[in-house]
Structure 1
Amino acid sequence: MAVRKIEHVGIMVKDMEASIAFYRDVLGLVLLGSLDHGNGTVKLAFLGTPGAEETQVELVEGYNGGLPAEGKVHHIAFTVDNLDAEIERIDKLGITFIDPDITTLPNGARYRFFYGPDGEWLELFEPAAAK
């Protein structure tokens, strides 16, 4: 049996509303749904790209207020059509970049990392042009 897709990437957050606003306003994701986990403390929110049916990002609030190291996600990559335009757009929003410049891979793909609201690493990724 082969893996068919990535279901979601879970990110522990301190402030659900602030994190939803960040992923919506900075990355253009849409809120697909939210719910209480059922234990009275954990809240979940599911975000995806506009028009997509599958969940791409799961935000988890209340699991552990200290945002522990276990299960820490290194980064999430988001595909963009025009990396330069997206960097210019989010730079105006006051986003802090990790990399000083765009990195170009040997195949022509380009990317740049930046911080999310809880210090998580996020990546804007522009695939190499098809040959």
Structure 2
Amino acid sequence: MSRHVSRLHHVGIVVQNLEASVTWYLDHLGFEHQSSFNLPGAEVAMIARGHARLELFQVEGAAPMADQQKELETVLNLGGVNHFALVVEDLDGTVAALAAKGVEIVISPSRVPDQSGDRFAYIRDNERMFVELYQSAS
């Protein structure tokens, strides 16, 4: 079965304000709006940047993200997805441009501690979810 999976298609994220989240990803990370639709009790938008696709859900009565998910010191204590990573070509330039737009930089550009030369940084989106920016050395 494992040989049949070729790549990740998308990540689904529950947000408190769909319009604000779509706008944030379009304005700050260059995503494009692909489609919007409704499901019972939910408004949904699919956004993409290259092969990176996010399905954003605004669900009636959904609880906001737990405080533990908002802090680096506690996010790894919870089960489930704690962040997603986006590949960038110029990590320093991307982080500088986002900081100039007021985006919170949680971890400044750093080297991955595996001797690969790859680098990463962490930011927060408009709902304080962690987003990793990743630059490969190769």
- Give the TM-score of the pair, scaled to structure 1: 0.84
Gapped regions of structure 2 (runs ≥ 5): 67-77
- How far has the Cα of 1:126 moved from its partner? 0.5
Gapped regions of structure 1 (runs ≥ 5): none
Alignment of 1:1-131 (within 5 A): 1=1, 2=3, 3-37=5-39, 39=40, 41-49=41-49, 52=50, 56-62=53-59, 64-67=61-64, 73-99=81-107, 101-105=108-112, 106-129=115-138
SS of equivalent to 1:26: helix
Amino-acid identity (%): 26
Q: Distance in 2 between matches of 1:43 and 1:72?
A: 23
RMSD over equivalenced CA pairs, Å: 2.0
- Give the TM-score of the pair, scaled to structure 2: 0.80
Structure having the higher strand fraction is 2
Q: Structure 1: which 4+ aligned runs deviate by more than 2 Å? A: 67-73
- What one-letter code is carried by the residue in structure 2 that aligns with 1:6? L
- What one-letter code is carried by the residue in structure 1 that aligns with 2:109? I
Seen in structure 2, the aligned counterparts of structure 1 residues 127 and 74 have a Cα distance that, compared at 3 Å, is: same
Structure having the higher helix fraction is 2
- What one-letter code is carried by the residue in structure 2 that aligns with 1:60? F
User: How many residue pairs end up in the alignment?
Assistant: 123
